[in-house]
Structure 1
Amino acid sequence: MIDVHRLRVFRAVVASGSIQAAATNLGYTPSAVSQHVTTLQRETGLTLVSKSGRGIQPTPAGLELASMTDGVIDQLSHLENRVRDLRDGRTGVLRMVYFESVGQNWMPVVARALTQRFPTVRLDLVLSEEVPTRVDAAVDLQVIIDDEGFEPPTGLLRVPLVTEPYVAVLPRDHPMADLPGIDLAMLGGDTWIDNEPVTGRCRRRLLRACAAAGFAPTYGVQTQDHMTAIAFVAASVGITVVPRLCTKGLRDGVVAVPVHNPTPTRTVTALVNRSVERSGPVELALAELRRCAAEEAGLTDDRAELLD
């Protein structure tokens, strides 16, 4: 039988690039790490590393074993966490999945309420932009950006939370920074900072709105997230248009201005695993999400709409 600890050590060697680096990271001596790798080669009957100059490099078999090891060790870590929960008296785990701006603004509030009310429940919070295509028994609740035409898989309860508007984020010295609102077409001549991957759901909504306003944005900078895009705006490199939830706690040097004609919007939705929808932690998490959504809908821009 393959020793799991040796697999962990070998994975560290592959990830670190050398036995010396792995030993430093693990707090072992290089000779101990080398011995683990040698023993693992004997256990598997495979040549996992070969000499390369003064060091070593993984063989194709070694790379494949290291890749397969990731999933095994992740599952083992999950098992070890569960054993620790049971030993420490934690009676359950609540796994929630969320996207970036909800994670920044709502999930800390939800997590605080849960840890105060249910101290024996361990929270497992995961960042993901993906919309589920099937029920994952390990996920109790997921917050998503609801796509048009999306139908949740059977077994998931759909709970729309809020439809929120997009706003333009401009440098403080931009000619339109002091306006109460901007027609989207007025931004057609600006250099835009992209804030999502080209396949992003929020980006698709924004591009449709721009097309309806008669233009396509000219992007000068590609970024993968809203906060990075806003940093470029603060440096006066261009402008960006983002969902309003992404503008909480704006940095100095930028302003958020409502956009109209048309106003792009997105709907934030919770998906609840029906097998746990009546559990106390899930009910509390959903209640806190609703409260956060109500606060978002209560902001002065009347385009935000709380959903039932």
Structure 2
Amino acid sequence: MLDPVKLRVLRSVVETGSIRASAEALGYTPSAVSQHLSTLRRETGLELVERTGRGITVTAHARILAEEAGTALDALAVLERTVKDLRSGRTGTLRLGYATSIASTWIPELARDVRRRYPDLGLELALRDCSCEDLAEAGMDIIVGEGTADAVPEEWAVQDILEEGYVALVGTGHPLAGRSSLPMKDLADQSWVTDDPLESFWFDRIGSACRAAGFSPCVDANPNDFPTVLGFVATGDYVSVQPSVIAQYLRPDVLAIPLDPPAPRRRLRVQVRRTVERNPAARYIVQRIHAAAERRAREIPGAVHLGVGPTGAPSQAATEATAPRSADVSQSAGVA
């Protein structure tokens, strides 16, 4: 049987492309990493790395082995967490994946409330800049994010929780800073900054709204995090279009200006694996997510809480906003 420790070392070497970098990441010495690789090469009969000058080149065999080992190592990690839970007396672990736009607002309070109410629960939180579909593949139990597909696998119970619009972010010294609202076309001649990958579903939605207004956005800066976006906007030379939820709490030198219709809108949803949907902690988490969405809907112009009423029936706002999807809401009402 292959040693998981050696497989983890191989994954690190494949990821970094360097024995020294892997040693630093793993807390090993370079010689220990080399020894693990040599042993794994003997056990598998595969050449895993080739020396090139002072460095190495990872072979195709090593990449395939590392990729295939990922599933086994992830499963082993789940087993190790189970053992840890049993040893510590915990009643189990729930894995919650969430989107960037609610990372600093909803999630810290949610984690605090859950840990106070269920102190014996292991709660793992994972920030992922991806869709609900991607998070589902990452082994999450509960997901709060944006679904990009109409069809949801049977193993998930789904509720839409919030529909919101987008806002333009500008610096306080920007010429548009005094406007109470903006049509998309007024952003045509601006330099844009966004943290969305330009080929992503999310930015394509914004780009489609721009193209409908007769222009293509000129993205001059594309950092990978929202605080850096705010730094560019604060200079007064850039604008950004973002969901209204993430724009609630900004730097004092950045303003959020609502976009006039027709402007892009999006929906956030919560997904719960049906294997845990009756778990009291999972039900509580979904309730708290709805409470956060309802609170934000009161604070954000144009946002609608797509919640369910105390009897499990869709609220009036949800009925009006999600009439085509009412079946989805009723099917998953037992989660809330």
TM-score grouping bracket, smaller chain normalisation:
0.7 to 0.9
Q: Which moved more, 1:105-114 or 1:179-188?
A: 179-188
Name the counterpart of 2:124.
124
Q: Map of 1:272-283 to 2, 5 A cutoff?
A: 272-283=272-283
Name the counterpart of 1:114.
114
Q: Distance in 2 between matches of 1:25 and 1:222?
A: 27
Name the counterpart of 2:240.
240
Q: Distance in 1 between matches of 2:90 and 2:107?
A: 21
- 1:196 is the counterpart of 2:196: yes
Q: Distance in 1 between matches of 2:114 and 2:5?
A: 34
Name the counterpart of 1:139.
140
Q: Which moved more, 1:67-76 or 1:109-118?
A: 67-76
Task: Give the superposition deviation at 1:120.
Answer: 1.5
- Consecutive unaligned residues of structure 2, counting only runs of 5 or more, are 308-336
Q: Percent identity?
A: 36
Q: Which moved more, 1:233-242 or 1:130-139?
A: 130-139
Q: Distance in 1 between matches of 2:20 and 2:296?
A: 52
TM-score w.r.t. the length of structure 2 is 0.78
Structure with the higher strand share, 1 or 2: 1
CA contact (8 A) 2:9 2:33 kept: yes
Q: Please give the secondary structure, in 2, of the residue aligned with 1:246.
A: coil
The one-character-per-residue Cα deviations of 1:25-77 (angstroms, maximum 9, x if unpaired) are: 55555554444333333322334344444565544434443443333333322
Q: Distance in 2 between matches of 1:227 and 1:32?
A: 39
Q: Map of 1:162-177 to 2, 5 A cutoff?
A: 162-177=162-177
- 1:292 is the counterpart of 2:302: no
Q: Please give the secondary structure, in 2, of the residue aligned with 1:109.
A: helix
Q: Distance in 1 between matches of 2:270 and 2:13?
A: 41
Q: Quick one: which amino acid aligns to residue 218 of structure 2?
A: T
Name the counterpart of 1:65.
65
- Consecutive unaligned residues of structure 1, counting only runs of 5 or more, are none
RCO comparison, higher one (Cα < 8 Å, 6+): 1
Return the index of the structure with the highest Cα Rg: 1
- 1:41 is the counterpart of 2:41: yes
TM-score w.r.t. the length of structure 1 is 0.84
Query: Judging changes above 3 Å, is the alpha-carbon distance between structure 1 residues 91 and 137 closer, same or farther for their aligned structure 2 residues?
Result: farther
Name the counterpart of 2:317.
none
Query: Judging changes above 3 Å, is the alpha-carbon distance between structure 1 residues 278 and 260 closer, same or farther for their aligned structure 2 residues?
Result: same
Q: Which moved more, 1:36-45 or 1:257-266?
A: 36-45
Task: Give the superposition deviation at 1:273.
Answer: 2.4
Query: Judging changes above 3 Å, is the alpha-carbon distance between structure 1 residues 274 and 220 closer, same or farther for their aligned structure 2 residues?
Result: same
Q: Which moved more, 1:13-22 or 1:241-250?
A: 13-22
Q: Quick one: which amino acid aligns to residue 304 of structure 1?
A: A
Query: Judging changes above 3 Å, is the alpha-carbon distance between structure 1 residues 30 and 205 closer, same or farther for their aligned structure 2 residues?
Result: closer
Q: Quick one: which amino acid aligns to residue 74 of structure 1?
A: D
Q: Which moved more, 1:217-226 or 1:49-58?
A: 49-58
Instruction: Count residues with an aligned counterpart.
Output: 306
Q: Which moved more, 1:5-14 or 1:68-77?
A: 5-14
Q: Which moved more, 1:56-65 or 1:176-185?
A: 56-65
